[in-house]
Amino acid sequence: MRDRRGLIAAGVIALILIAAAIIWEYFGVEKVSVTGNTQYTDEEIEDMVMTGPLGHNSLYLFFRYRNRSVRDVPFVERMDVAIDSPTEVTINVYEKAVAGYVKYLGRYMYFDRDGIIVEASTEMIPGIPYVTGLSFDECVLYEPLPVKDKEVFSVILSLTQLFDKYEINADRIYFDDSMSITLYFGDARVIIGSMENIDEKMMKLKSVLPSIMGMTGELHLENYSVEKDEGYVTFERDD
């Protein structure tokens, strides 16, 4: 009887090991697709989601993420995991809509298109414009940046969208008391002024920018329009 029980136990263990081996092989992830990510690389997203010894097993991932998203990742609202097949997984990243950042008490405070502070970090993220000239007394995470003119945030959003459109990377956006805009590229300052003819101004800036990089002075676009200026602009070097 004891030998029979031992054989049964051995058989059960063997079946469990065979089943585990089949699950390990059949549900092993071979292809991972990542969508929606700009702040993190595909590899970084994979490392955040597919953690632990079973992190590359699609069956494990299915049960782990079927009713929940990955959250608490800086600059990311959530990440959803979809099992496309036993060997293929898609990670959909939904990033927070960051429009710019200000500096406050030694930290970078990132805000969205509505001026809500969505992230506080000690790290500066490339590609997100630094905004100066705004007056505020405090920055509180998940609350609006307390500036006098709330319209500034729609202006910042429009500028960042134009930066993407024309592949322009400004170091800094500055607003003076009258909401006049100046863009900084190293030691070169580009006086934009108001948002009037802003698309024409950005188009001209894209063509002129290579020639003023590394220079010190001001490029005047505040009154620029293609029809009036026929494409000509002036750059004033600093003394």
pLDDT values of the chain reduced to their tens digit, one per residue, 239 residues: 556 666 565 556 656 656 555 666 678 899 999 999 988 899 999 999 999 888 899 888 999 998 899 988 888 889 999 999 989 999 999 988 888 999 999 999 999 888 899 889 888 888 888 999 998 989 998 899 999 888 898 899 899 889 989 999 899 999 998 899 999 998 999 999 999 999 999 999 999 999 988 899 999 999 888 777 666 788 888 87
Listed by start position, the domains of the chain span 2-95, 98-237
SS3 232: coil
- Whole-model pTM above 0.75? no
- CA quadruple 88, 94, 99, 103: dihedral sign: negative
How far apart (Å, rounded) are the C-alpha atoms in residues 149 and 80?
A: 36
How far apart, in Å, are the Cα atoms of 101 and each of 117, 176, 195, 200?
9, 17, 20, 26
How far apart, in Å, are the Cα atoms of 38 and each of 4, 29, 128?
61, 23, 11
SS3 237: strand
How far apart (Å, rounded) are the C-alpha atoms in residues 89 and 82?
A: 6
Are 115 and 80 a contacting pair, CB within 8 Å?
no
Select the CATH number that applies to the domain covering 98-237 from these four: 3.30.1360, 3.40.50, 3.30.70, 1.20.120. Answer: 3.40.50
